[in-house]
Amino acid sequence: MKIKLRKIGNSSGIILSKRILEQLNIEEEDELKLAVKDGKILIEKISATRENWEHKFLKAGSLQDTDHEMTFSTEFDEKEWTW
């Protein structure tokens, strides 16, 4: 697909077609990351910050001890507290 660079104020820009945005699941208000690598412009959608948290925690090693429950009790909890 060929496109033309367009003048936008003091800058230049391109128009991304609806078809391309749909293929990449990009909506109008989404934030994008722009990078230059090997002479090419890369545009990618920035994922939601809470997306894939469990996977990220597992990768970081912070969810390895899920079988160990930590409990803290005091004398008040054992003798005076009623459920």
- If you write DSSP's letter for every residue of 11-77 in order, what string do you get? EEE-PPPHHHHHHTT--TT--EEEEEETTEEEEEEPPPTTTTHHHHHHHHTTTTTTT-------HII
* Domain ranges, residue 59: 6-64
CATH number of the structural domain spanning residue 17: 2.10.260.10
User: Does residue 41 lie in a domain region?
Assistant: yes
Mean pLDDT in the chain? 81
Q: Quick one: pLDDT at residue 35?
A: 95
pLDDT for 37:
95
pTM of this prediction exceeds 0.85: no
pLDDT tens per residue, range 22-49:
998 898 888 899 999 999 999 988 876 6
Domain count, the chain: 1
Q: Which residues 6+ apart lie within 8 Å of 63 measured at CB?
A: 54, 57
Predicted confidence at residue 5, as pLDDT, reads 94
> What pLDDT is recorded for position 78?
74
